[in-house]
Structure 1
Amino acid sequence: MAGTSGTSTRFLPGPLPSPRNPLPRFRCDESRSAGTELPIRKGRTDLSVTTNSLSGLPPEHRPRLAVQAQEVAFPAGTRLFNEGQRADRFRVVRQGSVALDMHVPGRRPVVIETLGPGQLVGWSWLFEPHTWQLGATAVRPVAAAEFDAVAVRELCASDPELGAAVGLWVAQVLAHRLHAARIRLLDLYGPAGSGLPH
């Protein structure tokens, strides 16, 4: 996330990982424009690991999408995106956990769901107007595969079978998130004894 000075920081690969440092070290690059939330670490992704993380897709389509990924990492407490911001990327969690929250007027943001390894963070990138409908924060240190939304949409447009598979995957995630949001909000603010499942 951009700091208070208005400068965003991008991190590029440095030395290879060591037994004491399982994630690669990175050097800082200040060249990216301000206003975009960024991970503290960024580098090339392990293709086989990323392919396995895309379990929501049929196996034959995973490698095609996996090559678009970039490895990122966030410390606990990092705000990944805010509701209403432009959805220009999405992530699949490899390690750690991410809390999704919803703005409720006059109240603190409500945590809708907590995501873990193998789960998709963000669906708004696929549907116009491409703005986030929820917010997201790293609850525990997160390692994830990150994808550029425009590049993936273009890839899906050029490959109808892949596009259909990605669309179904994201639609299933969307349906689950909407259900989770409804249950969570009714649980918090609905009438007592409504008979909602817990």
Structure 2
Amino acid sequence: MTSTTTLTGGLPEEHRERLMRVAREVSYVAGARLFEEGGRADRFWIVRTGTVILDLRVPGRRAAVIESLGHGELVGWSWHFPPYLWHLGAEAMTPVRAWEFDAGAVRALCTQDPVLGRAVATWVGNVVAHRLHAARIRLLDLYGPHGSGSSL
């Protein structure tokens, strides 16, 4: 995948290299929760292998799965915007290997290097726009009139 929601499609190579210097490798078993909606957003991930689902709490119902993320995709954007609280939840659908980033360290890098900061902000902004669109379509599919989400 080479969309703007992936690391390779969203950031120029020199900025990817700088970010990867602060990454650490992590693994999750299937079913592990990476974060909960409303929790403190103090890190984010880039998926190496496996699938992570994003979900949204719906009162009186099971959480609605909004999107599935795979190789190269950013998991979590709430770390970039105060008050740094997760807007969605995330769960490993399959075993997942990922690069994990400390949000404070990345924000500090972005402050020190405004060109990097702008590139990261643009990348994360593109991810937010994509996720908002995906959430809208998914929620219309789940709760709107039949077929209302698929025609958008």
TM superposition score category, shorter chain reference: over 0.9
- Note closer, same or farther for the CA distance 1:70–1:105 as it changes in structure 2 (3 Å cut): same
Q: What is the aligned partner in structure 1 of residue 18 from structure 2? A: 64
CA distance in 2, matches of 1:66, 1:84: 27
Greater RCO, 1 or 2 (C-alpha within 8 Å, sep 6+): 2
The Cα of 1:195 is off from its aligned counterpart by 6.8
Classify 1:79/1:161 alpha carbon distance in 2 versus 1 (closer, same or farther; 3 Å). same
Deviation string for 1:100-147 (max 9, x for gaps)? 000011111000000000000000000011000000000010000000
> After superposition, where does 1:174-189 map in structure 2 within 5 Å?
174-189=128-143
Deviates more, 1:55-64 or 1:154-163: 55-64
Q: Which runs of 5+ in 2 are unaligned?
A: 1-5
- Written as runs of structure 1 = structure 2, the 5 A alignment for 1:1-198 is 54-55=7-8, 56-194=10-148, 196-197=150-151
Larger Rg: 1
Q: State the alpha-carbon separation in 2 of the partners of residues 195 and 153 from structure 1.
A: 35
Alpha-carbon distance, 1:192 to partner: 2.6
Q: 1:168 to 1:106 in 2, by over 3 A?
A: same
Partner of 2:3: none
1:54 Cα deviation after fit: 2.9
SS of 1:86's equivalent in the other structure is: coil
Long gaps (5+) in structure 1: 1-52
The aligned amino acid for 2:87 is Q
C-alpha displacement of 1:61: 1.1
Instruction: Please report the RMSD computed on the Cα atoms of aligned residues, expressed in angstroms.
Output: 1.4
Deviation of the 1:73 alpha carbon: 0.4
Q: Secondary structure at the match of 2:94?
A: strand
Q: TM-score, normalised by structure 2?
A: 0.92
> What are the superposed Cα offsets for residues 124-183 of structure 1, whole Å, 9 maximum, x if unpaired?
000011000000000010000000000000110000000000000000000000000000
> Once the 2 structures are TM-superposed, how far is the Cα of residue 63 of structure 1 from its aligned partner?
1.0
Runs of 4+ in structure 1 off by over 6 angstroms are none
Distance 1:184 1:163 in 2: 31
TM-score (norm 1): 0.71
